[in-house]
Amino acid sequence: MNGPEIHVEFGPELSLFLPNGRREGASAVTTDGVSTLGHVVESLGVPLTEVGALVVDGREVPVSHVPAAGESVAVRPVERPQRVPGAPLRFLLDVHLGTLARRLRLLGVDTAYESTDIGDPALAARSAAEQRVMLSRDRGLLRRRELWAGAFVYSTRPDEQLRDVLDRFRPELRPWTRCTACNGLLKEASKEEVADQLEGGTQRTYDVFAQCTECGRAYWKGAHHEQLVAIVERALADYAS
**What is the rounded CA–CA span in Å between residue 8 and residue 152?**
21
The answer to whether residues 15 and 95 belong to one domain is no
pLDDT of residue 9: 97
Are 225 and 162 in the same domain? Answer: yes
**Is residue 138 domain-shared with residue 198, that is, in the same domain?**
yes
| Same domain assignment for residues 195 and 95 | yes
| Residue 96 and residue 72 share a domain | no
What is the residue type of 126?
R
Q: The domain spanning residue 14 has which CATH number?
A: 3.10.20.30
Last residue in a domain, options 25, 45, 77: 77
Domain boundary among 28, 45, 77: 77
Q: Are 97 and 197 within one domain?
A: yes
Task: Give me the sign of the Cα torsion angle 221, 225, 231, 236.
Answer: positive
Domain coverage including residue 53: 5-77
* Residue 67 near residue 40, CB atoms below 8 Å: yes
Alpha carbon 17 to chain centroid, angstroms: 17
In a domain, 176, yes or no: yes
pLDDT given for residue 1 in this prediction: 53
Given phi > 0 = left and psi -120 to 50 = alpha, else beta, which region is 33? Answer: left
Consecutive 10-residue averages of pLDDT for the chain (241 residues): 88 94 91 96 96 97 97 97 94 96 98 91 96 96 96 96 96 97 97 94 93 97 92 90 78
The answer to the question of residue 83 being in a domain is no
Q: Which residues contact 203 (CB under 8 A, 6 or more apart)?
A: 191, 195
Residue 34 falls within a domain, yes or no?
yes
Look at residues 203, 96, 91 and name the one whose alpha carbon lies nearest to residue 148.
91
pTM of the model: 0.93
CA distance linking residue 149 with residue 53, whole number of Å = 15
The total domain count for the chain is 2
Report long-range pairs for 189-195 (Cβ below 8 Å, ≥24 apart).
189/218, 194/218
